[in-house]
């Protein structure tokens, strides 16, 4: 796929809820975790083949806008705007964009480069702490055989699970089962934002060029089912006899990144810290939190090593121990103590990273999120990818492959370190570098 794929914007309009939000639902308070979240977007791309389904892109967009409008009636905060620490659910609406590219879907899927995917996300995204909270872009291809739905949702009101809840809700609406996904907006009742807490703001970009940010690059690696099985065997140990897919792959990626970083003698003694999220929806913290609660309902765990020779099994054990320790705290501590520890631990991680005291990495997974079951009225997607292809931090972002047995990992690292990771024999033993999707 050409690195210079041109995306032409055809239209841009606002889609409002099909029914007005009742007065008693007009205000939703942001939770402690929402207020702590930077004003950026989270989202992804869903690729569809039309396969003979009647209708031009205009007809497809018309059906999507109709079902989106009906979905926003239940997900009414997403059609509002943020005002300080509350969402005014005023039915302003979501942005809906139609676009097209002059190339074929098949060409893109043969070699999906990050630069070719960026333009498929909604164009002209502002700071996500403001309206609009939700943007959707539908992009058609010159071949006429498919389209892409790009979704961006304000991270201030949504983590990855909340994004999947919304997409499942939209899918249910498009198929006449709208009432099967009932979202909840009650997180602030469990984790209220204290009076003195102010929303995080991002610093303005330095336009003078005096501050030079490190250059990052993103690559896509695919682990097939048999290789995952072999890797899990490699990651197993006496203490962790059954490592998960997440633990095994994260351990390998962390080890490869650690080796790449330590190849530079200047970093030989700096600790390496890996942070990963923990979904709190199913942790029995409060009956108010259901599995369909929308918002940022995540805690986090961090694990650390200063041993560049630590094996995959040892790193997997650290990940398991970190998860178990964090899970125990979630079971035994009061909600606001959980929030206070989250602020201390996550803030400490980023502070140590900013001042250069550690090499910090993050790993996240969209596994078992149901994205491949998303039917917006045109069948299931042939490919789904998170918007992790334009990331300026060290990140391993995972998503199951279409058959559910493999795993795709979008890896973002500094340029010089990625060059070493790509050549790592240990990684190449288990993963394929950007194979064709089709």
Residues serving a catalytic function are 155, 375
- C-alpha 380/C-alpha 382 separation (Å) is 7
Distance between CA atoms of residues 347 and 363, nearest Å: 17
Give the residue among 158, 320, 166 at the shortest CA–CA distance from 239: 320
* CA 132 to each of CA 81, 127, 148, 245, 265: distance values in angstroms, whole numbers, following the listed order: 6, 9, 20, 36, 46
Supply 181's token pair: 């996904």
Please list the alpha-helical segments (H only) found in 15-96: 32-36, 57-74
Q: Ramachandran region of residue 91, left (φ > 0), alpha (ψ -120 to 50) or beta?
A: left
Is the backbone peptide bond immediately before 196 cis, with ω within 30 degrees of 0? no
| Residue 94 near residue 68, CB atoms below 8 Å | yes
Number of H helices, E strands in the chain: 12, 16
Q: How far apart are the first and last CA of the chain?
A: 13
Separation in Å, CA 156 to CA 37, 186, 237:
5, 15, 39
Q: What is the Cα 378 distance to its own chain's centre?
A: 24
In the block, tokens 């939700």 appear at 134
CA–CA distance, 284 with 28 (Å, rounded to integer):
23
Backbone angles phi, psi at 276, to 5 degrees: -145, 150
User: What are 334's two structure tokens?
Assistant: 């009061």
Give the CA count within 13 Å in the CB-facing half-sphere of 331: 6
Q: What is the DSSP string of 160-204?
A: HHHHHHHHHHHHHHHTT-GGG---B--HHHHSBPPTT-----PPP
* Spatial contact of 382 and 389, defined as CB atoms under 8 Å apart: no
Q: Which residues contact 204 (CB under 8 A, 6 or more apart)?
A: none
Distance from C-alpha of 18 to C-alpha of 435, rounded to nearest angstrom: 42
């Amino acid at each position: 796929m050409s690195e210079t794929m041109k995306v032409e914007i055809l239209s841009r309009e606002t889609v409002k809820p099909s029914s007005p939000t009742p007065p008693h639902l007009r205000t939703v308070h942001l939770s402690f975790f929402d207020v702590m979240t930077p004003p950026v977007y989270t989202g992804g791309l869903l690729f569809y083949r039309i396969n003979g389904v009647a209708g031009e892109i205009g007809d497809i967009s018309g059906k999507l806008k109709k079902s989106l409008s009906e979905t926003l009636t239940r997900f009414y905060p997403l059609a509002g705007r943020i005002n300080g620490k509350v969402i005014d659910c005023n039915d302003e609406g979501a942005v809906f964009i139609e676009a097209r590219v002059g190339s074929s879907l098949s060409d893109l899927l043969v070699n999906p480069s990050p630069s070719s995917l960026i333009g498929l996300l909604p164009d002209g995204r502002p700071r996500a702490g403001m309206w609009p909270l939700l943007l959707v872009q539908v992009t058609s291809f010159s071949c006429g055989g498919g389209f892409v739905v790009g979704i961006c949702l304000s991270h201030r009101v949504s983590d990855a699970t909340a994004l999947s809840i919304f997409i499942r809700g939209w899918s249910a609406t498009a198929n006449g089962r709208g009432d099967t996904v009932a979202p909840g907006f009650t997180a602030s009742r469990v984790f209220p934002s204290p009076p003195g807490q102010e929303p995080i703001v991002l610093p303005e970009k330095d336009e003078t060029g005096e501050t030079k940010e490190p250059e990052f690059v993103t690559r896509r690696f695919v682990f097939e089912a048999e290789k995952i099985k072999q890797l899990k065997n490699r990651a197993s140990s006496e203490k962790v006899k059954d490592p998960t897919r997440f633990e095994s792959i994260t351990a390998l990626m962390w080890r490869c990144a650690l080796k790449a970083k330590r190849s530079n003698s200047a970093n030989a003694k700096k600790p390496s810290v890996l942070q990963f999220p923990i979904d709190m929806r199913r942790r029995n913290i409060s009956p108010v939190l259901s599995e369909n609660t929308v918002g940022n309902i995540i805690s986090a765990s961090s694990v650390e090593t200063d041993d560049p020779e630590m094996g995959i099994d040892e790193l997997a054990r650290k990940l398991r121990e970190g998860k178990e320790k964090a899970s125990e705290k979630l079971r035994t501590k009061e909600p606001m103590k959980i929030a206070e520890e989250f602020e201390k631990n996550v803030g400490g991680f980023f502070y140590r990273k900013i001042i250069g005291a550690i090499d910090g990495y993050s790993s996240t997974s969209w596994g078992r999120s149901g994205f491949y079951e998303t039917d917006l009225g045109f069948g299931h997607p042939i490919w789904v990818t998170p918007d992790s292809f334009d990331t300026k931090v060290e990140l391993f972002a995972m998503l199951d492959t279409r058959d559910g047995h493999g795993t795709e990992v979008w890896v973002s690292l500094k340029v010089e370190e990625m060059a070493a990771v790509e050549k790592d024999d240990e990684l190449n033993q288990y993963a394929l570098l950007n194979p064709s999707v089709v």
